[in-house]
């Protein structure tokens, strides 16, 4: 039977403050699933026009699906969030792009007409579950030279990217990292980050109970000189350091997606419209280049050019990876369209959760800048992949029109 695809919109999104992984971090004694449950409950609280029974799918991503990040997390989180027992859910793993893939997957369900409303998100508790915990890579991957051994260590792939593009110097990476810290500090000072955050009660055997209300990783006031003194852990005389890369972090995100007609019927906000998305594979040894072909594919499918994109939210796994994207498209390192609120180098990068953080921030920037019609969220993905999503601004005068 012939059918028409439906438009999919981003209704709302939230996240926990991001914490530092480890025994002294904000969430050292907080369960991973409780972080994403908090996000789902907050979404329902903020959107009283959304009846719980209207949520027809919950897709939650985690890179390390073990312990309190395992057991079909989308379903267990839905049950523990108070959604009806009739609400199904599932888990997703596409490493760093887990939440981005959760959004793309549920958007496909909505566009196809299988469901009307979904919740998508991600969580990563790297303090409890370090990346790669419990995995057993097939030895043939290296033995048969399918990839270089460096492909299995993300920091080494970033060093490889520096090798491949010599113009991407450590000095440029450090300058970009300092700018990320400065932009996030400014965004906090102007109250632009706080609306996305849901406060989380924390506990510590040593410190007692607390309340997480802002990100723990940022280092405001960081200077080029500070970064120049840091060691390069992945290679002697290397260029990748803790200062120009995202750290090891804990945190969760979640968002509501809906068919545009359903959102209007229920009186839900429409913050963005999904235009196109693409995921691609690249050489695992230089996985940081992934967003480039992903963006090119998404743009081609949408009939757009890079010049049509007025705002970019690029995940900063490593500064060099963002610089590779900017150089490829002829965009300046300090272009104001790129990560206006700072990025993961400052905010933190709890792996599978970060895709929705990018979307939250782009939605806020759309509201600030109605003259911008299209924006993009993009990220590199471990084991050699890239993802990109193009969104349309509902505040733009031509929203929803052809061309």
Distance CA 360, CA 380 (A): 18
Distance CA 6, CA 54 (A): 17
Q: Which residues are catalytic?
A: 96, 349, 380
Q: Collapse the DSSP code of 227 into the 3-class scheme (helix H, G, I; strand E, B; otherwise coil) and give the result.
A: helix
Give CA angle at 165 (160, 169), nearest 5°: 90
Distance CA 315, CA 379 (A): 5
User: Which is nearest to 38 in space by CA: 253, 187, 293?
Assistant: 253
Do 319 and 171 form a contact (C-beta atoms < 8 A)? no
Do 289 and 329 form a contact (C-beta atoms < 8 A)? no
Do 365 and 340 form a contact (C-beta atoms < 8 A)? yes
Distance CA 4, CA 106 (A): 17
Do 92 and 152 form a contact (C-beta atoms < 8 A)? no
3-state secondary structure 349-401: CCHHHHHHHHHHHHHHHHHHCCCCCEEEEEEEECCCEEEEEEEECCCCCCCCC
Do 279 and 101 form a contact (C-beta atoms < 8 A)? yes
Q: Collapse the DSSP code of 250 into the 3-class scheme (helix H, G, I; strand E, B; otherwise coil) and give the result.
A: strand
- Token readout for 266 is 């229920």
Distance CA 107, CA 373 (A): 20
Distance CA 41, CA 275 (A): 28
């Amino acid at each position: 039977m012939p059918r028409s695809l439906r438009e999919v919109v981003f209704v709302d999104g939230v996240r926990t403050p991001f914490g530092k992984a480890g025994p002294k971090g904000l969430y050292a004694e907080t369960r991973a699933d409780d972080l994403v449950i908090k996000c789902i409950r907050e979404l329902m609280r903020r959107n009283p026009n959304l009846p719980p029974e209207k949520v027809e799918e919950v897709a939650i991503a985690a890179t390390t699906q073990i312990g309190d990040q395992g057991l079909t997390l989308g379903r267990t989180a839905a049950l523990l969030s108070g959604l009806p027992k009739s609400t199904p859910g599932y888990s997703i793993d596409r490493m760093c792009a887990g939440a981005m893939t959760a959004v793309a997957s549920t958007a496909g369900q909505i566009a196809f007409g299988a469901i009307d409303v979904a919740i998508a998100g991600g969580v990563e508790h790297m303090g409890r579950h370090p990346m790669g915990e419990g995995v057993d890579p097939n030895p043939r991957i290296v033995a048969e030279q399918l990839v270089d051994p460096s492909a299995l260590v993300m920091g080494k792939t970033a060093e490889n990217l520096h090798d491949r593009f010599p113009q991407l110097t450590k000095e440029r990476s450090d300058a970009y990292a300092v700018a990320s810290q400065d932009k996030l500090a400014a965004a906090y000072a102007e109250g632009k980050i706080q609306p996305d955050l849901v406060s989380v009660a924390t506990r510590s055997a040593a410190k007692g109970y607390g309340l997480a209300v802002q990100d723990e990783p940022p280092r405001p006031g960081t200077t080029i000189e500070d970064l120049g003194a840091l060691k390069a852990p992945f290679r002697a005389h290397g260029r990748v350091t803790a200062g120009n890369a995202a750290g090891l972090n804990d945190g969760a995100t979640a968002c509501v997606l809906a068919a545009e007609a359903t959102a209007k019927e229920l009186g839900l906000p429409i913050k963005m419209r999904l235009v196109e998305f693409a995921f691609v594979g690249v050489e695992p040894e230089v996985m940081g280049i992934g967003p480039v072909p992903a963006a090119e594919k998404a743009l081609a499918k949408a009939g757009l050019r890079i010049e049509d994109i007025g705002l970019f939210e690029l995940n900063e796994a490593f500064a060099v990876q963002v610089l590779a994207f900017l150089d490829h498209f002829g965009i300046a390192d300090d272009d104001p369209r790129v990560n206006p609120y700072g990025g993961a180098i400052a905010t933190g990068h709890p792996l599978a959760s970060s895709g929705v953080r990018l979307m939250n921030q782009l939605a806020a920037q759309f509201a600030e800048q109605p003259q911008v019609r299209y924006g993009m969220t993009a990220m590199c993905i471990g084991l050699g992949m890239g993802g990109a999503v193009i969104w349309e601004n509902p505040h733009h005068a031509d929203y929803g029109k052809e061309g």
